[in-house]
Amino acid sequence: MTVLLREVGFDPCEEFSTYQNEVLGQRGKYGAAISFVGTMRDFNEGHKVQAMTLEHYPGMTEKQLGQICAEAERQWEILDALIVHRVGMVKPNEPIVLVAVWSAHRAAAFDACRFLIEALKTRAPFWKKEQLHETTRWVEHNTPVN
């Protein structure tokens, strides 16, 4: 279970592959891998967004994400999970978050991956501030699950 915060742009595919090849180390055991990639869109609540700053609470972020991972591990039969999250200034089309889960069978991986991203969005202390054409605004709440 690994949580990484990235201050510069990251490539979700590269993170996924590198982790699977170098860290997972259980080759032949995982039958399923699910990954979620959240990408910055250039439009939100009716306005064109030019950039975004992701603030977080160093220390609490890692602690909360670690707890979320541990809960997923207790609840589902998964082999490993990786969370990578951007902080700092993000531009449209750049990835914000990767959540990847490996398991022997697919149901556990799907369920755990979905749990992880929903829990991250409600519990991990990140905040988005959007840069619009001439002004900035804090994003007030996340998009609901449905």
Nearer to other proteins, 19 or 95 (CB): 95
**What does the block give as tokens for 20?**
């699977």
Contact window for other proteins (CB under 8 A) among 7-15, 17-25, 58-66, 68-76:
58-66
Rounded to an integer, what distance in angstroms lies between the CA atom of residue 112 and that of residue 107? 8
Rounded to an integer, what distance in angstroms lies between the CA atom of residue 16 and that of residue 12? 6
Rounded to an integer, what distance in angstroms lies between the CA atom of residue 71 and that of residue 32? 20
Closest to 61 (Cα-Cα) out of 119, 19, 146, 110:
119
Residue of the chain from 49, 54, 69, 112 that contacts other proteins (CB under 8 A): 54
Q: What type of residue is 87? A: V
Partner touching 130 among other proteins, a copy of itself, none, CB below 5 to 8 Å by kind: none
Contact window for a copy of itself (CB under 8 A) among 41-49, 51-59, 61-69, 75-83:
41-49
Q: State the binding string over 4-43 for other proteins (x if CB under 8 A, else -).
A: ----------------------------------x-----
**What does the block give as tokens for 96?**
């914000």
- Give the helix/strand (H/E) hosting 63: helix 60-75
**What does the block give as tokens for 82?**
């990786």
Interacting residue ranges for other proteins, rule: CB under 8 A: 38, 54-57, 59-60, 63-64, 85, 96-97, 117, 120-129, 138-142
Summarize as ranges the residues that interact with a copy of itself (CB under 8 A).
11, 13-14, 16-17, 27-43, 92-93, 104-107, 109-110, 113-114, 117, 143, 145-146
